[in-house]
Amino acid sequence: MASPVDDLLAALPAGRVYTDPDLLTAHSRDEADLCDAGTPLALVRPQDTAEVAAAVRVAAAHGIPVVPQGARTGLAGGANAVDGALVVSLTGLNRILDIDPGERIAVVQPGVVNAELRRAVAKEGLYYPPDPGSWESSTIGGNVSTDAGGMCCVKYGVTSEYVLGLEVVLADGEVLRCGRRTVKGVAGYDLTRLFVGAEGTLGIITEITVRLRPAAEPALTLVAVYPDLPAAGRAVSAVTAGGHVPSMLELLDRTHLRAIEAHRPMGLDTGAAAMLLIAADTGDRAAADLERIAACCREAGASELYVAGDAAEAEALTAARRLAHPAMEQLAREAFPGGRGGLVVDDVAVPRSRIVDLVTGVEEIAARHDVLVGMVGHAGDGNLHPVIVVDRADPSSVDRGRVVFDEIMRLGLSLGGTCTGEHGVGLLKRDWLAHELGATGVRVHRALKAALDPAGILNPGKVIAPR
């Protein structure tokens, strides 16, 4: 019998199959720290759905694992390889196939970068809202696979609310089309939603039909500065309880403000304990809307409030927020030189009324274990990202980091929250998902996995642990 690599070479055009060790190492993992990754058998870079299906059929015939990957910007280990796996990189499926302004939809391949889609539809007076922090590099396929969110989701919602239809390669190499192009459609089981957020464990997405919105009206941006984190949390709760609907409501703590300013100086207030970045994209109504929101911020104890003077300043503030992760990576490198600095990124979402309890609890956990934890996130969604800084070369630092991660997860669930708001489960939060779901929820997940992937070859070990 021919080897899997020989069969792949026979089934696919030249230049699609790679076994170079350095290339395999580069494609062995995503950006999540402290998640295990194996050594792939081979890397495939297909250019269309037929080639993805051919690669999966070879893998199925040999019983080898298949790990789909996009840009590998994930933070939960969802794209990490396992030993002997076939890694299928979908970055070559990178075409925008159709933009239909009349129907307000776009049809794209999974390798299209989020920002490229947003810019393309903007030329038609349309708007694709989901905007993860990695929007300039993360792909739509990866966004769909993790049900990614972003800064605009406080008003516009997460990726799943924009996915109308999918083309998916199943575990046996068959191709399934599900969903629709129509505004309404309720025929049959909602298979589209089933694959969104499944992280490649049920099928490999090769085409996506997304819903678009009319372009947003011009926005104004408000900055609220606070002397302590709980005060900022109280402001978030007050804004949402007051019925206000900002298009952005982001929180950055002192650690992040200092890290961003060190990474790219722009005059941020590094003495503040926290800053809220709030926008209203309601055109002529934005000033009045922000004034009502500012009143909530002022009542909660803001030490300073100011509105960005123009669009350029507002964009600079938004860009500063997008720098949070690379800035913290720089902080970790400088704190622990020689490649020792690592980040473990939490992704807890709680009811917005419990934001104060979450930030207070995280501060207490970090202090008790003497671990640096910065907090940033989509506060308007109740979704925060405590970022844990560890020394990879120091086992005690890594152990304390893991303890802090687990305690934050436990805190989030105790507040009525969830273990992930937008980053997905991957390997990092698999055990906590099981805790959140309970025994019956785990059983149903495993039953769905077994029905669609009976041999268990699709992204094994991610989301739900095998029996």
Using one digit for the tens of pLDDT, what is the confidence trace for 398-433?
999 999 999 999 999 999 999 999 999 999 999 999
**Does domain 4-89 match CATH 1.10.3720.10?**
no
pLDDT of residue 311: 85
pLDDT of residue 444: 97
Burial of 247 (C-beta count, 10 Å sphere; 0-12/13-18/19+)? buried
**Does domain 217-326 match CATH 3.40.50.300?**
no
C-alpha to C-alpha distance for 50 and 269, rounded to whole angstroms: 53
Q: Which residues are paired to 177 by β-bridges?
A: 167
pLDDT of residue 460: 97
Count of C-beta atoms within a 10 Å radius of residue 81 = 25
Q: Report whether pLDDT(1) > 80.
A: no
φ, ψ dihedrals at 406, nearest 5°: -65, -40
- 8 A C-beta contact, residue 243 and residue 303: no
pLDDT category of residue 341 using cuts at 50, 70 and 90: very high
| 309 vs 384, more confident | 384
- 8 A C-beta contact, residue 255 and residue 363: no
- 8 A C-beta contact, residue 326 and residue 201: no
Q: How far is CA 322 from CA 122, 136, 147, 252, 453, in A?
A: 20, 10, 19, 11, 37
Domain ranges of the chain: 4-89, 96-214, 217-326
For 33-54, how does the pLDDT look when each residue is reduced to its tens digit (9 = 90+)?
889 999 999 999 999 999 999 9
Q: What is the pTM of this model?
A: 0.95
Task: Give the percent of the chain with pLDDT over 90.
Answer: 96
96-214 shares the fold of 4-89: no
Q: Report whether pLDDT(71) > 80.
A: yes
Mean pLDDT across the stretch 249-270? 96
The highest-level CATH class for domain 96-214 is alpha beta
For 343-376, how does the pLDDT look when each residue is reduced to its tens digit (9 = 90+)?
999 999 999 999 999 999 999 999 999 999 999 9
Mean pLDDT across the stretch 24-32? 96
Q: Report whether pLDDT(83) > 80.
A: yes
